Structures are given as structure tokens and as C-alpha cells.
Structure 1
Amino acid sequence: MDLSTVIGLILGLSGLIGGFILEGGHASSLLQLTAFMIVFGGTFGAVIISFPMEQLKTVPKLLKIAFTEKKLNVHESIQQLVEFSTLARREGILAVEQHYDKMEGNPFLKEGMMLVVDGVDPQLIREILEIEIANIEARHEKGIRIFEAAGGYAPTMGIIGTVMGLVHVLGNLSDPDSLGPSIAVAFIATLYGVSSANVIYLPIASKLRARSQMEVLIKELEVEGILSIQAGENPQMLRKKLLAFLPPAMRELEQEKTFAGEANE
């Protein structure tokens, strides 16, 4: 479970509802079935119209990615690349072939190392792997756009719900005492639309994009490592080159892990 997503969602909803209650409102007044149907039904309907069913089928998987901590171990990738670099310089590049089983959990790295062992031209290897990275980014972006679209439609559906409510209110002006409560109910739709967009849909899209960017960063790091191994670069220089891909905080953490591992050996 990704605690940041869960905690953020709870804090966001709690802040909205808690602030409303502290102002003297009643939580029960926020529960309006008609507004819920208009906003969420309209949003989901618009999203379904906007995207092919093949993409929409990925929504459960995307939610799972947003709410679970995906294992992207940059430390493991760097360690493997440095180990393969050491092995290739000591025993030759063909010796890496005996260690394919270590890469079963990382098919991208395995594919790259297989191309190196097969003697494929470095430029062609880079092109093949970069095309694969581009496809990964494009696939991720398709999923992200679903939630961004929902975040765009929801506030509009809220406004539509509010207008529909006000039309109903204006059609019943004969009862002045009910005008206040009826107008308040009408604006619940806008609340649903704006809050769902900014607390649920758009934050999930941002989380998915952050996950995608980290995965792409690791893939780019692996491409550079694979080509460096093929070029026969020094393992320690390779490690420094790979660390340069990481932001300062991650770089320091990676160096600490490396030092700790060396101290335990």
C-alpha cells in the first residue's frame, strides 16, 4: 500500500468535510443523491465517450499502481550493471550470458544485455531500447490522460448540476421559505465536481506521472549502463556515470547503500 496516496486522500477529504463542519454545517447536508448521480454519472459517461474501451479496461490496474508501492529498485539496477561490467572486463562479454537468470525480474535490462552479447552495433542497441522506452512512456500517458480528462469534466458536470438545481428552484418561487435550502442543495453538485477533480482525479494523474517518470529514468540509466558495458568502461567510472542520472537526494542515498554494502563484505 502506498501510504502517501492513502494519507493524502484521507487528509484532503477530511479537511474539506472537517472545515465545513467547523463552520457550523452538518455532514448529512453534503450527501445529495441527485447531485452525486449528475456529477459522477456525467463524468464517467464523458470519460467513456472520450476513450476506447481497450484503454478504459486499464483503469483498475492504474488505480492499483496509484494505491500500491511499485517496486522500482534503482539500487539493484546499478549494482547489477556494475557487476556485469566487472564480469565483462574480467572474463569477457560472453560470460554475462551465464547470468541471465539474475535479470528475470527486469526484462528490459535482460533484453539489452542479450543484444550486447549477440554483438549488435551500439547505435542499433540504443535505438531499439529508446524506442521501447518511448513506447512505455506513450502507454503510461494514455492511462494518465483518462484521469486528467475526468478531472476536467467533473467541475463542468458540477456546474451543470448546479444550474439544473437552480432551474428547479426558480420554477418553485411560490414557496420562499424553501429557497435557501434548495439553493444550498443545488450548489452541492459544484462542490462534488470541484472536490472530486482536485482531491481524486488530478492527484491520481500526478501520482501516475511521477511513477512513470521514475520508471523511465531507471530505463534510461540502464541503457547508458548497457552501452558502457559494451564499450568496456571501468566499473567504478560506470557507477559514477549512473549516479549522475539520479537527483541529489537519491544519489546520496545510493552512495550510502553502496558504502554499507562494501563495509559488510
Structure 2
Amino acid sequence: MDKLSIAGLLLALAAVFGGSTLKGSGAAALVSPAAFVIVIAGTIAAILVQTPGPTFRRALRMVRWVFRPPVLDWEDEIDAVVHWARRARQHGLLGLEPDLAGVVDPFTRRGLQMLVDGVEPAQIRAALDVELDTLEGRDAAAARVFEGMGTYAPTMGIIGAVMGLMAVMQNLADPDKLGAGIAAAFVATVYGIGLANLLFLPMAAKLKATIAGQSRARELMIEGLVAIADGEHPSSIHNRLQGFRVQR
């Protein structure tokens, strides 16, 4: 669980509602079902028009990464590659076949299978590079869904504010309703700008960082598998892959 994401979300809510209370308008002033429907439904409608179905579904599945990102244990990855290098040195590439069943990640398993099959190092690198680009492009497109929502939400907030002001203009004959009506109209703007800058855009940035980390881990695996195919010494492979470690 990513505690920073949870803390950031809670702090954002506290900042908005606490700020509204300190300004004297009160937290209740931010509650507007009509504004919420306009901003949320409008933003979702816009992103649905923009986004292909598979990309949108992928974006929904990736939301959990904001609060529970995939765990990347660099030491375990390096140790696995070095273990395979030692095993291949002792028993040959076919000796790696029993290890295939224990590999969960499809990308790694495909690379290890090519290694067992005796595919040339250059071909292994080429095939895995193509798959890496495809996976990275797919996930980056999904992350851009939230970037798009961060772009559309403020505009929908303005639309909601204008619609609210239109309703206020219809009640100009009743001055007692003008103040509350104008305040309610601008709640939609708060929703749009707040959701964009406190939720959607930070989510997109967090997902992009996670995607970059996954791509780096896959690059590590490509380098390791190709080095094994080239017959490099396990110690040399270990030293090379140490450069991929994330400093904590």
C-alpha cells in the first residue's frame, strides 16, 4: 500500500474542506449534486469519446497502481538472472527449462523460453525490445486517460458555473436568492479545478512513474537474458545489472 498516495488524497480533502470552513463559507457550501453530476459525467463523457475501449478498460485496471503499485524488487530480479547464468554455465541452456514453471511474469517467461530454445542473442533482444515498446505504449496510453480527464474537468467546471449563473439570472427579481445562487454556481468550478489538480493529473503522473519503473525492470531482464545467451560469466552479469538498482 502506497501510504504517500493515501496521505496526499486525505490532505487534499482536508485542504479543500478545511479551507472552505476557514474562509467562512463552511464545508456544506461545497456540496452540490448538480455540479458533481455536470463535472464528473461531463468529464467521463469527454474521455469516452476520446479513448478506445481497450485503453479505457486498461486505465480502469491501472487505478489500483496509484495506491498499490507493483512491487519491483531489483535485488530479486538480479539474483534470478545470476542464478540462471550459473545454471546455464553448469548444465547448458536446456538446464534452464525446469525454471520456466516458476516464472510468473509473462515477459520474463517468454524471454527465458527463447533462451532455452537456443534463440540467437540478437534475436532475443529484438523480440523483447518490440514487446517492451508495446507494453510501455499500451500502459502509457492508459495513463494519458487520466491526463485527459485532468484537462477536461476544469472546462466542465466552467460549463457548470455558467449553467448555474444562467439559473441565477432567471431569479434576478428575487435578490434574496442571488448570493446563494452565485455561490452554488461556482462550486462546479471548484469541483473541476480541484479534481483535475488534486486527483486526475497526480494520478497520471504517478502511473507514468510506475510504468517507467516497470520498463526499467524489463530492460534489466533483457540485458541479463542476452548476456546469458552470449555466455558471459555470472559475476560479470551481476556487476553489469547492479547499475539498474534503484538507490533507496
| Fold agreement, TM-score > 0.5 | yes
Q: How does 1:1-265 map onto structure 2 within 5 Å?
A: 1-103=1-103, 105-247=104-246, 249-250=247-248
For residues 195 and 11 of structure 2, the distance between their equivalents in structure 1, rounded to whole angstroms, comes to 14
3-state SS of the aligned residue for 1:119?
coil
For residues 98 and 189 of structure 2, the distance between their equivalents in structure 1, rounded to whole angstroms, comes to 61
For residues 14 and 239 of structure 1, the distance between their equivalents in structure 2, rounded to whole angstroms, comes to 47
For residues 120 and 48 of structure 1, the distance between their equivalents in structure 2, rounded to whole angstroms, comes to 42
| Consecutive aligned runs of 4 or more in structure 1 exceeding 6 Å deviation | none
For residues 21 and 114 of structure 1, the distance between their equivalents in structure 2, rounded to whole angstroms, comes to 61
Q: Output the amino acid matched with 1:18.
A: G
Q: How many residues align?
A: 248
Q: Output the amino acid matched with 1:7.
A: A
For residues 125 and 7 of structure 2, the distance between their equivalents in structure 1, rounded to whole angstroms, comes to 40
For residues 106 and 34 of structure 2, the distance between their equivalents in structure 1, rounded to whole angstroms, comes to 49
For residues 246 and 159 of structure 1, the distance between their equivalents in structure 2, rounded to whole angstroms, comes to 46
Unaligned 5+ segments in structure 2 are none
Structure 1 residue 150, shift from structure 2 partner: 0.8
3-state SS of the aligned residue for 1:244?
helix
Of residues 73-82 and 47-56 in structure 1, the stretch that sits farther from structure 2 once superposed is 47-56
Cα deviations by residue, 1:165-188 (Å, 9 ceiling, x for unpaired): 222223332233332222111111
Structure 1 residue 191, shift from structure 2 partner: 0.1
Structure 1 residue 194, shift from structure 2 partner: 0.3
CA gap 1:163/1:210 in 2 versus in 1, 3 angstroms: same
User: Percentage identity across aligned positions?
Assistant: 38
For residues 119 and 53 of structure 2, the distance between their equivalents in structure 1, rounded to whole angstroms, comes to 39
3-state SS of the aligned residue for 1:214?
helix
Cα deviations by residue, 1:47-93 (Å, 9 ceiling, x for unpaired): 12212333333343122232324233322211010111122223322
Unaligned 5+ segments in structure 1 are 251-265
For residues 189 and 16 of structure 2, the distance between their equivalents in structure 1, rounded to whole angstroms, comes to 14
3-state SS of the aligned residue for 1:151?
helix
For residues 59 and 143 of structure 1, the distance between their equivalents in structure 2, rounded to whole angstroms, comes to 4
Cα deviations by residue, 1:145-174 (Å, 9 ceiling, x for unpaired): 211111110000001111122222233322
3-state SS of the aligned residue for 1:24?
coil
For residues 30 and 9 of structure 1, the distance between their equivalents in structure 2, rounded to whole angstroms, comes to 17
For residues 76 and 244 of structure 2, the distance between their equivalents in structure 1, rounded to whole angstroms, comes to 15
